[in-house]
Structures are given as C-alpha cells and as structure tokens.
Amino acid sequence: MTDDATTVRDATEADLEAMAAIYDEQVRTSVATFDTEPRGLVYLGDKLAHAGGSDIVLVAVRAGEVLGYAFSGPFRPRPAYDGTKEVSVYLGAGARGLGLGSLLYGALLARLDDLTEVHTQVAVIALPNDASIALHRRHGFTEVGVLREVGRKFDRWVDTAWYQRRVG
Ligand SMILES: CC(C)(COP(=O)(O)OP(=O)(O)OC[C@H]1O[C@@H](n2cnc3c(N)ncnc32)[C@H](O)[C@@H]1OP(=O)(O)O)[C@@H](O)C(=O)NCCC(=O)NCCS
C-alpha cells in the first residue's frame, strides 16, 4: 500500500535498527510502552524472526527512511487464543499526526482480514494517549475496559485501556 510518497511493506532485517530507535525513544520518553530500559535490537528482532502467517511486521518508508512500524503477534501463549492477535503501531517523533499511523494500521488490518484463522484483534493503550485512541476507533476498535494503575513508570501509576476489533 502507498500514498504519494510513502510505501508500506513487510519489514526486513535491514529496517531493524531504525525500528528499534523509534521504539526506544518511546521507552525513554513515554508511558506508551511499559518497557523502562531501551531494548535495542532484541525485542523487535524477535518479532521479525517469528514473523509469518498472521504474525505480521510492517514498516512505513519514505525516501529510504523508516518512519514507523506496525505489527500483529500472539495475544496469549495458549492455543485457544490463536485466533486473537495483539496489534500495535509506533511512529518516529517527526512522523506523527500526518496520517501515517492510519496508513500502517489500514494495511495491517487488511492483511489480517484476509486470513480466515484471525477472528479478533486486541490493542492495549496506556493512558493518556488521545492519538492512539482516535486511531483505534477510526479502525473499528471499541473499548472493552480500563485496568486501573497496572503500570508504574516515571514515578506514577498508569492505566491501560483495552480495545478490541472483531472481523465482520
Ligand atoms: C499513536 C500513533 C501511532 C498515531 O498515529 P498518527 O499517524 O500520529 O495518527 P494519524 O495521523 O493517522 O491520526 C489518526 C487519528 O488520530 C487523531 N490524532 C492524531 N494525533 C492526535 C493527537 N495528538 N491528539 C488527538 N488525536 C490525534 C487524528 O485526528 C486521527 O483521527 P481521525 O481518524 O478520527 O481523524 C502515533 O501518534 C505514535 O506513534 N505515537 C507514539 C507511539 C504510540 O503511542 N503508539 C501506540 C501505542 S498503543
């Protein structure tokens, strides 16, 4: 999928360093992730290594620069959860608010919708995150509930909102 200047495609090893830099900036500055120490290449490298089938890792690239990524992966490690995918999306600081999150999610969810084995998607949004909530609502997710004070980062308790999207 492309807009005028941006391509969305499957991520490769060559994208990993840029993807990790995007994630680690959020680790250091935001409650969007509950990681508290930069993960380097390990966390996303593992996702890439296990990509295939309904575990999808996409990047948005413009002029050779990785601007963001989105992925689907296992929700919980029990076979009865296999039709449920957890999804997420991260953009670099300069790439937000321009529709790229929507472009990536549109591509990811379209891919998942083509897979008969995928029944539902779950997203966990640490609060506050108005952009992420708007993005998920735009793409058909509805709020299931909020877990209060389940994370602690930057010396404060953080809630998580759980969102779900069901095929059909
Ligand atoms: C969350 C994120 C992926 C959204 O992507 P984005 O490209 O910035 O969002 P888009 O420009 O595609 O906009 C999507 C929707 O969010 C809204 N939005 C964007 N930025 C917003 C903001 N700062 N506050 C409120 N709404 C916002 C847009 O108006 C749009 O709403 P609409 O579809 O109803 O018109 C991006 O901001 C990001 O990477 N943030 C840091 C990492 C993160 O929080 N990831 C999500 C973890 S759950």
Q: What structural domains and CATH numbers belong to the chain?
A: 6-166 (3.40.630.30)
Provide residues with CB under 6 Å of ligand 1.
26, 32, 88-91, 96-102, 125, 129-132, 134-135, 138
Which of 27, 71, 135 to mutate to test ligand 1, by most ligand atoms within 8 A of the CB atom?
A: 135
Q: How far is the CA of 129 from the centre of ligand 1 (A)?
A: 8
Tens of pLDDT, residue by residue over 71-95, are 999 999 999 999 999 999 999 999 9
Question: Could you tell me which of 164, 30, 160, 150 has the C-alpha nearest to residue 91?
Answer: 30
Q: What is the pLDDT of residue 55?
A: 98
Under a CB-based contact definition with an 8 Å cutoff, are residues 75 and 83 in contact?
A: no
Between CA 150 and CA 142 the distance in angstroms is 20
69 CB-contact burial (10 Å; exposed 0-12 / middle 13-18 / buried 19+): buried
Q: What is the pLDDT of residue 71?
A: 98
Nearest CA to ligand 1 atom 10: 99
Classified as helix, coil or strand, 113 is: helix
First to last CA, the chain: 22
Gap from CA of 143 to ligand 1 centroid (Å)? 16
pLDDT given at position 4: 73
Nearest to 12 by CA among 47, 43, 40, 38: 47
The closest of 24, 89, 95 to 59, measured between CA atoms, is 89
Instruction: Kindly give the confidence (pLDDT) of every residue in the chain, 168 residues in length, as a single tens digit, with 9 standing for 90 and above.
Output: 556 799 999 999 999 999 999 999 999 999 999 999 999 999 999 999 999 999 999 999 999 999 999 999 999 999 999 999 999 999 999 999 999 999 999 999 999 999 999 999 999 999 999 999 999 999 999 999 999 999 999 999 999 999 999 986
- Going from the Cα of 59 to the center of ligand 1, the distance in angstroms, rounded, reads 16
